[in-house]
A and B are shown apart, each in its own frame.
Chain A
Amino acid sequence: MIKTNSRRDVLKLAGAATLASLLPSGKSFAQAAGNVVVIGGGFGGGTVAKYLRKAGVNVTLIDANAGFVTCPFSNTVLGGFGEMRQVSHTFDGMRRAGVNVVTGTVTAIDSAAKRVTVQGNATPIAYDRLVLSPGIDFKFVGTAGAIAGYDEAAAEKMPHAWKAGPQTELLRRQLIAMDDGGVVVMTIPNNPYRCPPGPYERASLIAHYLKTSKPRSKIVLLDGKDTFSKQGLFQAAWTALYPGMIEWVSFSQGGNVARVDPATNTVFTDFGQHKGNVVNVIPPQRAGRVVDLIPNLATGDYCQVNPTTFESRSVPNVHVLGDACVAGAMPKSGFSANNQGKVTAVAVAALLRGQAPVAPSMINVCYSLVNPDYGISVSSVHKIGDDGTIISVPNSGGTSPAAATAEFRKMEADYARGWYASISNEIWG
């Protein structure tokens, strides 16, 4: 009898071959010795920490929080069919993998002496290589490019919910408290920002909740740009599922936000104003502020890196990945950060062994739900182009078809859930 390998077995074999070619085997594992400090336990940092352990490297993971709440799938909480516990992860899996987990705020980084100081710890942590995956921070009042009137206090009235956690719960409570017939105003920044299709998935899932519970309500999207990710797919779904409920005001229709007034829940655009019963402000963003602890690490809002190693172009032995880096054609997504995390882990292990890193190929897939049974996706394949930046491979990737059956949309919604289960298990499981 001839046994045919299942597709899964083939994938396992392929995976084994890839790992064998990239990671040291046998004795050379020990030669990858070195101390790596990773700051940030999200999609990027969590992946780096896990994969460096597979290469036998000592890893200390520092995060300000005791666990990580993912932005991906947090919109299901706002849609009323997901729960916070489903998007909340501890670092227990990291510890089981042998990662030394430190909970605390980093207060100083000495990139010359190669050590990191954590608040409350007298002794700095030494590193051979440092990996920063701090995600984003917001441009609040006082920062160039900020929305006038939007600061941390305003975020308690007009939540951003763009770092998942208490902000997600606050926005959910506001949606529950809103009367039927209310107006939800969402503001969306210009590029670049974390999760390009995220605001439109959020609008869809809030619409799902309102359609179910408060069908006379409306959603107004005030946008700082004229086009957006998966635009045709989203807009077709809105027409089909939520007719008349979502109004999108593009940049050239006056959607750019200049100022907010939390006291009256009013958003002032360049040319008009909108009052909301619930106002969700997704503010302009920048690299997580921890990058400011190293002079010249950030150029403008984000950090320039060598895409083969994700090592900073300005500061040696410091790697930056995920939302905080400039990754060319790769979007700021959890899946991008996860891919970049694997590339960084392999590169760091090679560098610690004195070997030359290999130029990577990377992928990204972003699923969005427009209701629990209707998923759409965009995917892309990336490599390093002749100009040394990350490019999209021509004619690779694409989006879900414009015309598809309900079964097809349902299947993609299931793929989305499958993607989330597997990536979160890989990182935090």
Chain B
Amino acid sequence: MRITQGCFSFLPDLTDEQISRQVQYCLENGWAVNIEFTDDPHPRNNFWEMWGLPMFDLRDAAGVMMELNQCRKAYGNSYIRLSAFDSSHGWESVRLSFIVNRPKEEPGFHLERHEVAGRNIRYTTKSYAADRPEGRRYG
């Protein structure tokens, strides 16, 4: 199951040129672009690993693409996302975030029904990938 998080996730995967254009849009707005990766696709997993520091003061997307390609080389079979941080007063938060790399196979989620008092049911989603230990989830 293809996970959908952040911008553009219902579209087909962006090509490198499209990613580069999006990054350029972020840079032209003065946002700092950051690269993060993870192998835990749960939507509530807020804390992805950072690939280096957020990139401030860049003028051209080529710098981000260079880092992204290095990140892909190291974690090519994980989820990688770019997030653009707007530091201007009043925003001071992430303005855009999108997935730029995903594992070849995404096993999807298991829905667990937890029967509790009365006839109530609590639901839990659990990624099949997360059954295996960190670092070995996508082969």
Q: Do A and B bind each other?
A: no
Q: Which residues of A are in contact with B by a Cβ distance under 8 Å?
A: none
Q: Which residues of B are in contact with A by a Cβ distance under 8 Å?
A: none
